[in-house]
């Protein structure tokens, strides 16, 4: 059935988000409709409003949500009304070569589901009846959303939905970059550049995985204080230090792992330069498509360094989302502390402004 929903929409790059009344169609084959409980505001949503991430507007934002299933389409197995679900902005078909080899974030069919559902159509229409694209095949910054089950992970019902929501992006991306992409060894030395919702989770991923030293780098002192609470052993304030890489090498002798959680070639260079011999730099931030980075080629072979990327923390969502929630339940991951502010959907513009000014660890829009 069709449902009316308030949604946060990007109409035009460079303009503030709008709150619109939209129609969300019920599920077709293989899809479910969710009543969204909470949706985190990620820098990637902001990047979609500036054109840094080039999903065509009009676009319903949101890809970090949890909610309750209210309608199940034909042919859906494993989801029932009342189930708790976390959205996944990677669509995982489960059948292609990448899915079968255990890399669903590289699913060969996922490229079809960037700003529409995997079949290339959408279930969202504006008040004029015109179709609205959906961020990451999700578009979950809305009271209701219809998703393909390949973008949904069923989770246990004992975790508050606003906490579970964060596992859909910030936590999975940050912690997963450490656990999955880097495979950080206990006793390692690490640096994290950019302490937003994602970087803060890279910090706590390093702490949980048993890193010896964790150096947090940001230009916002408030973020560095948060990093300490999440396990950073050292901090570098870019207002006080010109060359962060040099400072990190002096402090640590060169780190084994550096995580770039900003999305800028210049910061990737810093992350790479902060490495010791045999070190790995992991690029998590999403840069402008034209952005470039440069490294000294010889250091790749001579120091056996690695430069690699990480998409949604190299997640296997069906395995990793419940795994991260299990660590939260066991007191080994902080989720409550990540949510420094909740907003009603009417306050969405404020939520985006607060991200720009760096006020929050994570701001979360909570629906009635
Ligand atoms: P955020 O806005 O919450 O945090 C960004 C942080 O970087 C802020 O604390 C800011 O002060 C800091 N910063 C800015 N410039 C800096 C610099 N030059 N050096 C060091 N720190 C700097 O953003 P977020 O939601 O944490 O997202 C971070 C990045 O990760 C974005 O590019 C986002 O698009 C990307 N992202 C990637 C994935 C993925 O799958 N790879 C998933 C989600 C988000
Ligand atoms: Zn995100």
Report residues whose beta carbon is within 6 angstroms of any ligand 1 atom. 42-44, 47, 169, 173, 193-199, 217-220, 223, 238, 261-264, 267, 284-286, 310-312, 355, 358
Whether residue 165 contacts residue 49, with contact meaning beta carbons closer than 8 Å, is answered with no
Question: How is 131-160 classified by DSSP, letter by letter?
Answer: B-EEGGGT--SBSEEEEEGGGEEEE-TTS-
- What is the rounded distance in angstroms from the CA atom of residue 206 to the CA atom of residue 215? 10
Please state, as a whole number, how many other Cβ atoms lie within 10 Å of the Cβ of residue 88: 29
Token pair belonging to 263: 């999305």
Please state, as a whole number, how many other Cβ atoms lie within 10 Å of the Cβ of residue 92: 26
> Looking at ligand 1, which atom is closest to the CA of residue 310?
41
37 CA → ligand 1 middle, Å: 24
The length of the chain is: 368
Nearest one of 298, 301, 305 to 274, comparing CA atoms: 305
pLDDT at 368: 86
- What does each of the 368 residues of the chain score in pLDDT, given as a tens digit? 999 999 999 999 999 999 999 999 999 999 999 999 999 999 999 999 999 999 999 999 999 999 999 999 999 999 999 999 999 999 999 999 999 999 999 999 888 889 999 999 999 999 999 999 999 999 999 999 999 999 999 999 999 999 999 999 999 999 999 999 999 999 999 999 999 999 999 999 999 999 999 999 999 999 999 999 999 999 999 999 999 999 999 999 999 999 999 999 999 999 999 999 999 999 999 999 999 999 999 999 999 999 999 999 999 999 999 999 999 999 999 999 999 999 999 999 999 999 999 999 999 999 98
Token pair belonging to 134: 């959906």
> Looking at ligand 1, which atom is closest to the CA of residue 361?
3
State the helix-helix crossing angle for 265-273 and 244-252, rounded to 10 degrees.
20
Distances (CA, A) of 321 to 23, 144, 311: 29, 21, 15
Beta bridge partners of 282: 259, 308
Q: Give the residue whose CA is nearest to atom 4 of ligand 1.
A: 196
For residue 84, report the phi and psi dihedrals to the nearest 5 degrees: -90, 135
Please state, as a whole number, how many other Cβ atoms lie within 10 Å of the Cβ of residue 23: 17
> Looking at ligand 1, which atom is closest to the CA of residue 200?
26
298 CA → ligand 2 middle, Å: 34
pLDDT at 183: 97
- What is the rounded distance in angstroms from the CA atom of residue 200 to the CA atom of residue 189? 16
Beta bridge partners of 18: 9
pTM of the model: 0.97
pLDDT at 111: 80
Ligand minimally distant from the alpha carbon of residue 356: 1
> Looking at ligand 1, which atom is closest to the CA of residue 264?
18
Distances (CA, A) of 125 to 7, 25, 350: 11, 8, 25
pLDDT at 110: 82
Question: Residue 336: exposed, middle, or buried by beta-carbon count in 10 A (0-12, 13-18, 19+)?
Answer: exposed
């Amino acid at each position: 059935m069709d449902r009316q929903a308030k949604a946060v929409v990007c109409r035009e790059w460079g303009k503030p988000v709008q709150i619109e009344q939209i129609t969300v169609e019920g599920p077709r084959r293989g899809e479910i409709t969710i009543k969204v409980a909470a949706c985190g505001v990620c820098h990637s949503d902001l990047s979609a409003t500036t054109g840094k991430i080039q999903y065509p507007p009009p676009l319903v934002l949101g890809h970090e949500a949890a909610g309750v299933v209210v309608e199940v389409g034909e042919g859906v197995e494993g989801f029932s009304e009342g189930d708790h679900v976390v959205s996944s902005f990677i669509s995982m078909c489960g059948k292609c070569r990448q899915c079968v080899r255990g890399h669903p974030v590289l699913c060969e069919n996922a490229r079809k589901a960037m700003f529409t559902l995997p079949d290339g159509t959408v279930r969202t229409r504006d008040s004029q009846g015109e179709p609205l694209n959906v961020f990451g095949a999700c578009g979950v910054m809305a009271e209701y959303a219809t998703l393909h089950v390949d973008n949904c992970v069923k989770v246990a019902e004992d975790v508050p939905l606003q906490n579970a929501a964060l596992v859909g992006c910030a936590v999975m991306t940050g912690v997963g970059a450490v656990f999955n992409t880097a495979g950080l060894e206990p006793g390692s030395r690490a640096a994290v550049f950019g302490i937003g919702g994602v970087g803060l989770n890279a910090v706590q991923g390093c702490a949980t995985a048993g890193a010896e030293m964790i150096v947090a780098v940001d230009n916002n002192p408030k973020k560095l204080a948060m990093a300490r609470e999440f396990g950073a052993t050292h901090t570098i304030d870019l207002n006080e230090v010109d060359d962060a890489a040099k400072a990190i090498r002096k402090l640590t002798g060169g780190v084994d792992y550096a995580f770039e959680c900003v999305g800028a070639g210049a910061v990737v260079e810093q992350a790479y330069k902060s490495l010791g011999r045999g070190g790995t730099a992991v690029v998590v931030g999403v840069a402008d498509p034209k952005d470039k980075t440069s490294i000294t080629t010889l250091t790749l072979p001579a120091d056996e360094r690695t430069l690699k990327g990480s998409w949604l923390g190299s997640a296997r969502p069906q395995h990793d989302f419940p795994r991260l929630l299990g660590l939260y339940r066991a007191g080994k991951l902080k989720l409550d502390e990540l949510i420094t502010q909740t907003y009603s959907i009417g306050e969405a513009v404020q939520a985006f402004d607060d991200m720009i000014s760096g006020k929050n660890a994570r701001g979360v829009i909570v629906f009635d």
